Copies of this chain bind each other. A is one copy, B any other.
């Protein structure tokens, strides 16, 4: 994973700080000196004992996010359930991953395009595979009669992008818990306003 040396505890700290800054200001607007400052280091150079370059941070965070989404989806699919219940569970699981990894979600949805090849293509391939799994869940619902026969491609694009848009307005420690927000959102997505 492109680590140069030693203490991987420290690497996780750097990634956590970078995640927050990438979400707040964006990848390009975040300098190595910003990250160093946020860790109480005096110069950006100190970070290079732990990483090979700035893009390593982006790559590491992007993969963490991808892993989290896949893990949540596979946990849902591992359990026996009717197509509709499975889709609903997958939606809620996806939303909960976002609420728990807001920084990584920003990288996963917005900042990934600053990856250079070939990592960018690798990322996109994994992302596409995840979307196909979701589309299959939706098609199972329609085949089952649990959903209206709508355009599945359009519906999948809408469903995923609508879920992902949650990162723009969800605030932790708000009036509702993450679980409550996720359930309410799943309800609106499945049954409308």
Contacts and interface: CB of A to CB of B under 8 A. Distances in A.
Contacts of A114: 26, 29
Contacts of A148: 193
Interface string A154-193: 1101110110111011000000100001001100111111
Interface in A87-124: 110, 113-114
Contacts of A165: 158, 161-162, 164-165
A76 interface: no
A155 B187 CA distance: 11
B159 A161 contact: no
Identify whether the interface residues of A are mostly helix, strand, loop, or mixed: helix
A84 B25 CA distance: 38
Contacts of A141: 193
A151 interface: yes
A176 B193 contact: no
A61 interface: no
A147 interface: yes
21 contacts: A26-B26, A26-B113, A28-B28, A110-B110, A138-B193, A150-B184, A150-B193, A151-B184, A154-B176, A154-B184, A155-B188, A155-B193, A158-B162, A158-B185, A159-B193, A161-B162, A161-B168, A162-B162, A164-B165, A188-B192, A191-B191
